[in-house]
Copies of this chain bind each other. A is one copy, B any other.
Amino acid sequence: MLFERAEYLARVARAKASMQARGIDVLLVASPANQFWLTGYDGWSFYTPQMVVVALDAEEPIWIGRKMDAVGAKFTAFLAPDNVVPYPDKYVGSETLHPMSFVVEELQRRGLDAGTIGVEMDDYYYTAKWHQVLTDGLANARFVDAFLLVNRCRMVKSEAELQFMREAGQIAAAAQQAAFDAAAPGVRQCDVMAEVYRVTTAGLPGFGGTFPCKPPNAMVGEIASAPHLSWSDEPLVPGDLFYIELGGVRHRYHSPLSRCILLGKPSAEQDRVTKVIVEGLEAVLATVKAGVACEELAEAWTNVISRHGVEKDSRIGYPVGIGYPPTWGELTASLRKGDKTVLEAGMTFHCIPALWADDGGLVVSETFAVTETGAECFADFPRELLSKA
């Protein structure tokens, strides 16, 4: 088990307080990240339906999943055996049986089929079909949308979680270094990324890495104008600008880190724009502390760039932590104008300001924790356009 039982119970208590405040008796958690946070359950099994149930009057949550994965729940979740409930394989990939029918029956068996049931209406893994089967099967319950309820509870990290994110930050820095070391004219883009993956997977001598929940956004040249495309197997050529947003990972906790590598000497504009980005980023970091609102961080950025004559109104960051595909973002807040979310010590963000220069996007990002007095960055890596001639 990654965390103490007491830590898991404190998390469950936090979720229950939020449920109570919203009149929810039973919470059905579809999000694998939220399931992991609440129970410790961790396995690449969420391609088959599984559900975590939090009931106000039960101490522990219940994990319901495929029979073969109940074994994994015993290895990873803090739950008593009674609270790991396997469904038989006949529910898998069947045209007549759906795993959510099994969930309905289990809720009925436990008397959790009435009152107000919260569901994560817009979570990636909560499909229209799941909702249909559940609402048809639990006609006595009232369903309400509890999307992001648990995500919000996850925002403040414990010391143990922060430690994983610090380690992930060190891995991220090592991976950026590996990319820089590998990048050279004639080297294929995929061979640079192979070095990134080698390092994020191996980690460091003191602690290993693992797989990230998403691939790096890593693009060269004009392709980088599309922010979510990917590298190719073309060889790098002199002058290429390699945009790399990657994440180090420890036990599903991600610390993203973004830099650009230029194969050549920066143009005056690339140099100037990078300096604006770094000045803006550092203004944001200097503004961070408990009690400040997300929009104030965005404002710190906007003030810097407008002083340099740049206007850009898109968000410059988001809360980060536990990552399951398709994202390591927590989906709860944004560093942008109008977001009134108040920072608390232990919250963690990826601040990723980017600007366009000449024919390429430039970026310098940091992942940090909010403290009572400032920001603690997880990586220690030069804040610059990394150039090699």
Contacts and interface: CB of A to CB of B under 8 A. Distances in A.
Given A45-B228, A72-B228, A194 B201 contact: yes
Contacts of A76: 229
Contacts of A89: 314
A230 B208 contact: no
Given A93-B334, A129-B122, A325-B325, A208 B226 contact: no
Interface string A67-92: 01101101110000000000001000
Interface string A33-45: 0000000001111
Interface in A184-227: 188-191, 193-203, 207-211, 214-215, 217, 223, 225-227
A214 B45 CA distance: 11
Given A194-B198, A203-B233, A127 B132 contact: no
A202 B329 CA distance: 27
A195 B194 contact: no
Contacts of A93: 331, 334
Nearest to A130: B128
A147 interface: yes
- Chain A, interface size category, equals 35 or more
Given A76-B229, A193-B201, 12 more contacts: A42-B229, A43-B226, A44-B326, A45-B227, A47-B326, A71-B225, A72-B229, A75-B223, A129-B145, A197-B200, A208-B232, A210-B231
Which 10 A-B residue pairings sit nearest by Cβ, starting from the closest? A208-B233, A190-B208, A72-B226, A128-B131, A325-B325, A194-B202, A211-B215, A122-B129, A197-B197, A47-B326
Interface of A: 42-47, 68-69, 71-72, 74-76, 89, 93, 98, 119, 121-132, 145, 147, 188-191, 193-203, 207-211, 214-215, 217, 223, 225-233, 314, 325-327, 329, 331, 334
21 contacts: A42-B230, A44-B230, A45-B228, A47-B214, A47-B327, A68-B226, A75-B229, A89-B314, A93-B331, A122-B129, A126-B127, A127-B127, A190-B202, A190-B208, A190-B209, A190-B210, A193-B201, A196-B201, A197-B200, A197-B211, A211-B215
